[in-house]
Amino acid sequence: MTAADRPRSKFPLQLDRLSGGAASSSKTLLRPQRDVAAAHVDAGKRAAPAGLGLDSPDVRRRMAERLREGGVVQPQVLAAFANVPRHLFVDPALATQAYEDTSLPIGHGQTISKPSVIARMLELLFDGANARRKGNLGAVLEIGSGCGYQAALLCELAVRIVSMERLKPLHDKARDLLAPLRSNRLRLVHGDGMLGHPPGAPYDSVIAAAGGADIPEAWLAQLAVGGRLVSPVQQGEGGQVLVVVDRHEDGYERRVHEAVRFVPLKSGLAG
């Protein structure tokens, strides 16, 4: 079944009821995502005036159009960004910046990633063999639920999603913000993302919102043949880069893409 055959989520309508609440890529390089401290500084520069019409679909469509102008061409990815209200996943005081191409703090030393970075990673996932064959991202393992925004986008693009978060307060936050979706395709797990989630394996797509020294073996083991993994990885002293791993019948193929900046990948659980 292709994405076009599946009934579309009523996500924006439901969420709007909430209140307050190895070879390099040839694609254009994105600017690195700012770190947590920079995001906090930027967030403090503005107050959040009221009555800005952030619930308007036009606001989301304009963001999707800017992503398209920036080089994102995958239509399902652009449609997801036009459909999911990002402002409901950020602090109300930062809502006026929700549709800018910027990372924003979500508490506990974490950020919600820039739309352009998320879109780039999702588009890379769509180039995987299984995604091209199925017309969607299939079964997805997300490492780092954060506030739940990327999981909401994945609900527009995948058949089944397991989203893991090691920080209990963020797990609870994502659960509350995603509750109106009421999707039986999404499972939120408070767990150590470095271990993946074997009960849900194999996964057609794996996407990580934190970067470590290398790709954990557990993620590779849980990736389906024909599946694709996209994750930031530390590259020596030069910062992080996006790494894409495809699993084939006879092994794995790894490619390095552009520079990015994500929070560090950590193991274990935290309250």
Q: Which residues are catalytic?
A: 113
* 60 within 8 A of 81, measured Cβ to Cβ: yes
DSSP assignment, residue 94? G
Distance CA 210, CA 197 (A): 16
The contacts of residue 194 (CB under 8 Å, 6+ apart) are 143, 212, 216, 218, 265, 266, 267
> How many C-alpha atoms does 105 have within 13 Å on its Cβ side?
14
Which pairs with CB-CB distance under 8 Å and at least 24 residues apart come from 178-183? 178/148, 178/151, 178/152, 180/11, 180/14, 180/15, 180/17, 180/18, 181/9, 181/11, 181/14, 181/15, 181/152, 181/155, 182/14, 183/9, 183/155
For the CA atoms of the chain, what is the radius of gyration?
17
Q: And the tokens for 4?
A: 């076009």
With tokens 């739309």, the residue in question is 115
What SS3 class is residue 60? helix
Nearest to 84 by CA among 191, 193, 177: 177
